Structure 1
């Protein structure tokens, strides 16, 4: 790979590219500098030509100039320093003292001398004042008869122009770095295509994950424009924040555990047993994730709150409270178990039943076969599901904001610090604390799974699945599913019923006005949301599968860092993601704030971990020899990915598409900071209606949102059909 000839070629072309790069950008800088200098001198001439002849008016003239030009400071010297006594006029003492300290400086001496002889003089050097860089103009003050009566000194703030210089430097360095990476990969790599894919993914997570996260971290160490540890000292020593941290951990563990159990119940029953109504149960299992995250909370309050329909009207309970850890765990479990279900369904479906058949043929009982074969092979999906629900629970703020009561969680504390108290640094620091438990769980899961083999797809998939449950167990599983589905229907029935009453909980009069008003007011928001989600969905799905393929099949430097960066956005509260994106992309070189692109990018980066986890878990079951055989027959990496990997990953790919679309449609926390007058979002409008107690309007839009997503689900199932070779049927009793 690294031959002497290749190295010489590389260095030669690098020298040529670097020389051309330096020459081009130096020419641009020189031209830009000349234009700036001419503009500064012209500005000085205009300003100093307006000075008043009356001494008593000079102070007000300086004040007017500095008020009209925020980047300019003025010192006026009445008289000529070399020939007569002078009087100085100024408003900013710091600039005047700087001027006095520089009188012996050769450049200042030349500037004053030039002004005395009726010439304008602009310094080539810049001077640091007031935490900014300034160029200085020395100008003659002339009467109408062109007599010199004084000297004007103008300090011109260059910070705005220096940003352009910095941007040019970034582009110049980026071009050289791009050449080194691209040409180096082409010249020295054995697999250029795969290395380009890895490089591209690194660039994506670097720009849209690491860079915004760096801006958030930097903010926590800044106090009044200077480096400080004050924010972190306060965060780590305040009981309120520490209590909220442990509150988040307890909520995350309880929610993740219950959600994984329920998700496994649905996934196992629907993929490994022969029951009727699978499509119905599957639809109900995904329903909670396709609605705004606070819809279930509102339903819980209306049914089980202090004045809830069930607790107050039906059961007449007096001291019952749904607020706190119990209520939050209930709501988050109902809202997040679809994450576990979608992650595990594809894994359970892909398990080759010949292994179970072999165990049964060796006289193992169905229970023992399940415990020793099926369950261990499901471990990647179970751990992935638990991790995703855990991180999602930590990052959730919409449900705790409404239902936490006196129970403190870190995401709400961070949200209130940012939006309620405008303490961005505190909010960022609190949110960053959530990364610690998330990354710990992520690394433990990765370390444990990497030590074991879960390969079950070998290129000869079984067309059927052997049923491992008895009739009694099957009835028990179905009964549990029915109870959960009935509970969900009651929650969503509350939302649907809210569409047809004037004000739920106060006035139950039937009306259709809510539908008309909500659709009129939400028309643009619905269109914007569907458009942006449709753009983000296929991009996120393909990126997720590519990332999963690289993580499972390839080893490269920085792989662990890459994995952490992929998972990080899912763990950080959406409020911080929104603020980080505003900090990072509201300035050069990428100005994206206010555009639809920043919302699409947020969708992709935020929901990418779900698709990646599903793809990784599925790929661990696929024998690499299938891909190696295709490569031995001459297929390149894109062909192998398109014809071998993607079809085998179809269940995980569909889950990724589905989840990305619904999460894009139902996003709240980050999007609320990124919407603009041109691009709005339906969930933000629903939240605003709910906050203003317009539950009827919120119910109509929430129901509309669910209908749209269900239609999209159906279309995706039709467009991305499952391969017939992977279809399995469940056989009956053995």
Structure 2
């Protein structure tokens, strides 16, 4: 099996180690599993082939192709990881799972859960504050604050950790140089701080959508019945925003459990499962134990994901009346609104300071020791990192339109077409969103390091990883957009003789343009800033900028890490801004704030 190797300086991947698993009685067991899986897949696809192709050959072909993609790039790698977790020294064994469930790793599991709960709770509170201020008050700087609040989402996941280390680390500017403190930012407190700053935008964006859709006529009725604004908020607004609150908490919890880069830099002696799995694979070359630990981490994340999709979806919080509301009633008085503004701007100011610290780090000789001005970091960083910059942008540029088109096509098939296995297909497509990146990276190493799909070491495996990882969000956006479009438009085109590809190209794609562009924007950002799965898939030929930044940070080359982080943030911001310009605001759905 192939495992990426970093050179002695930690700068770039030089090649791969091959770990040979000896031949044994496990060979027959492995072949049996593969035979059962392939036979079941062939039988299922055969039945679907007959049913679907007899009705609509083109749709049948696309559905089969989609099932093939899902089977090869989602189901098969996960099955390979499951298989390996039950292997020990080439034979079938439960020894790996016994070791995984030992107190040593259960402590790490508890550490992950504790960090996830703290991060999710604080992030949801902060996110609700921002969402309420922007969506339900007459606050004037909404665009500016929304843009600044979403900055952590479109930057490398560990750039904030880098900044925190520069300010509050062992030789931090504030902790050591200014305040002469001996306290350490490493551990649970520092991790929670960084993850809250990095993940509260998820809660903010999730809750904003719910608050924006609440019909204010219900709140108006409460106020007309002499209820105070606080009573109206507590009895009506807060319960109606419950779906957003629960969804936000679960989404942040899932992302915190799967976070990989921040714990690697800031965990100190605090143990979490994602880093333990990485150390087992790269440090001890123990892929079976790494797989088992990743599956142990998958259990709480998949549970949270299923709760978010099923429990919240079943609750009814509908407030839509026959006549859409174009105003939202403000439920705060001036002192409350000013208090929210002060707290929010303070939080935003801290975030801006963190990013400015990264920029400042680009021009310092040796942060924490010599703060002299220099431009040498730029020359060295560009000479060492140019190949990684080129590779990262190239691979992201290939994955972005691929993921966008595949997501919209998948959404159209799921919403507009009937075929056997549709529900199964939707569930499996959404699965990668809940799978920790470490597990996906390990499973791809296992699945694609041998013929007939020998992809390890190529750029293709990185692009495929991008597409599969970000496909669920694009499909979800496409499904939401298609539910808002009358299918009669497409039916009319079909009645005039247009086939499904023509309908998709000339009708569906233009109508779901905002969702399509949003999907591409999201894919590009996530591809440029990915690290958890990518760190397992890079090679001497194809490196990734985030991995190089991480290696520089780990080797205390903060000046070089700051330069490359700044370059990455600028590239992502430029593309993100371009995408936002292309996605025009729908004036018909905008609402204004009315005061009472």
Q: Same fold (TM over 0.5)?
A: yes
SS across alignment from 1:234 = helix
Which one of the candidate residues 365, 368, 383 is aligned to 1:502?
365
Pairing 1:269–2:133 present = yes
Q: Which runs of 5+ in 1 are unaligned?
A: 1-128, 133-158
Rounded to whole Å, the distance in 1 between the matches of 2:58 and 2:211 is 32
Rounded to whole Å, the distance in 1 between the matches of 2:595 and 2:314 is 35
Which one of the candidate residues 155, 161, 173 is aligned to 1:297?
161
Pairing 1:529–2:396 present = no
Distance 1:510 1:435, change over 3 A: same
Q: What's 1:40 paired with?
A: none
Q: What's 1:219 paired with?
A: 84
Which one of the candidate residues 155, 179, 191 is aligned to 1:315?
179
Rounded to whole Å, the distance in 1 between the matches of 2:421 and 2:59 is 15
Any residues of structure 2 matched to 1:188-267 within 5 Å, and which? Answer: 200-236=65-101, 238-267=102-131
Instruction: Report if the CA contact (8 A) 1:439-1:564 is conserved.
Output: no
Distance 1:280 1:495, change over 3 A: same
Q: What's 2:562 paired with?
A: 699
SS across alignment from 2:371 = strand
Instruction: Report if the CA contact (8 A) 1:256-1:386 is conserved.
Output: yes
Rounded to whole Å, the distance in 2 between the matches of 1:327 and 1:492 is 17
Equivalent residue pairs, number: 565
Rounded to whole Å, the distance in 2 between the matches of 1:250 and 1:361 is 44
- TM-score of the pair, normalised by structure 1: 0.68
Rounded to whole Å, the distance in 1 between the matches of 2:240 and 2:509 is 20
Instruction: Report if the CA contact (8 A) 2:254-2:301 is conserved.
Output: yes
Q: Report the Cα offset of residue 430 of structure 1.
A: 0.5
Which one of the candidate residues 528, 532, 537 is aligned to 1:674?
537
Instruction: Report if the CA contact (8 A) 2:119-2:195 is conserved.
Output: yes
Instruction: Report if the CA contact (8 A) 1:575-1:670 is conserved.
Output: yes
Instruction: Report if the CA contact (8 A) 2:116-2:256 is conserved.
Output: yes
Deviates further, 354-363 or 383-392:
354-363
Rounded to whole Å, the distance in 2 between the matches of 1:244 and 1:398 is 16
Q: Report the Cα offset of residue 248 of structure 1.
A: 0.7
Rounded to whole Å, the distance in 1 between the matches of 2:442 and 2:553 is 23
Q: Report the Cα offset of residue 673 of structure 1.
A: 2.2
Q: What's 1:76 paired with?
A: none
Q: What's 2:486 paired with?
A: 627
Q: Report the Cα offset of residue 354 of structure 1.
A: 4.9
User: For 1:155-212, what per-residue CA distance to the aligned partner results, in whole angstroms no more than 9, with x for missing partners?
Assistant: xxxx9xxx9xxx9x999999997665334213258xx877776655443332211111
Distance 1:513 1:648, change over 3 A: same
SS across alignment from 1:321 = coil
User: For 1:226-263, what per-residue CA distance to the aligned partner results, in whole angstroms no more than 9, with x for missing partners?
Assistant: 21111111211x21101111111111111112222222
Distance 1:513 1:271, change over 3 A: same
Instruction: Report if the CA contact (8 A) 1:549-1:615 is conserved.
Output: yes
Which one of the candidate residues 169, 185, 195 is aligned to 2:52?
185
Pairing 1:731–2:590 present = no
By relative contact order (CA 8 Å, sep 6+), the higher-ranking structure is 2
Instruction: Report if the CA contact (8 A) 1:384-1:614 is conserved.
Output: no
Q: Report the Cα offset of residue 602 of structure 1.
A: 0.9
User: For 1:607-653, what per-residue CA distance to the aligned partner results, in whole angstroms no more than 9, with x for missing partners?
Assistant: 3344456677x67xx9x696366577677988599868986894x66
Compare CA radii of gyration and give the structure with the larger one.
1
Pairing 1:477–2:344 present = no
Q: Which runs of 5+ in 2 are unaligned?
A: 1-21
Q: What's 1:396 paired with?
A: 259
Distance 1:700 1:607, change over 3 A: same
Instruction: Report if the CA contact (8 A) 1:342-1:655 is conserved.
Output: no
User: For 1:680-731, what per-residue CA distance to the aligned partner results, in whole angstroms no more than 9, with x for missing partners?
Assistant: 21112212222222211111110111111111111001222223322x1423
User: For 1:334-392, what per-residue CA distance to the aligned partner results, in whole angstroms no more than 9, with x for missing partners?
Assistant: 11122223333344444454554555555554444444554444344333332222121
Q: Report the Cα offset of residue 467 of structure 1.
A: 3.0
SS across alignment from 2:332 = coil
User: For 1:67-116, what per-residue CA distance to the aligned partner results, in whole angstroms no more than 9, with x for missing partners?
Assistant: xxxxxxxxxxxxxxxxxxxxxxxxxxxxxxxxxxxxxxxxxxxxxxxxxx
Q: Report the Cα offset of residue 331 of structure 1.
A: 0.9
SS across alignment from 1:434 = helix
Instruction: Report if the CA contact (8 A) 2:124-2:248 is conserved.
Output: yes
Q: Report the Cα offset of residue 516 of structure 1.
A: 2.5
Instruction: Report if the CA contact (8 A) 2:327-2:594 is conserved.
Output: no
Rounded to whole Å, the distance in 1 between the matches of 2:428 and 2:134 is 34
SS across alignment from 1:508 = strand
Rounded to whole Å, the distance in 2 between the matches of 1:409 and 1:310 is 27
- TM-score of the pair, normalised by structure 2: 0.83
Instruction: Report if the CA contact (8 A) 1:615-1:649 is conserved.
Output: no
Instruction: Report if the CA contact (8 A) 2:49-2:64 is conserved.
Output: no
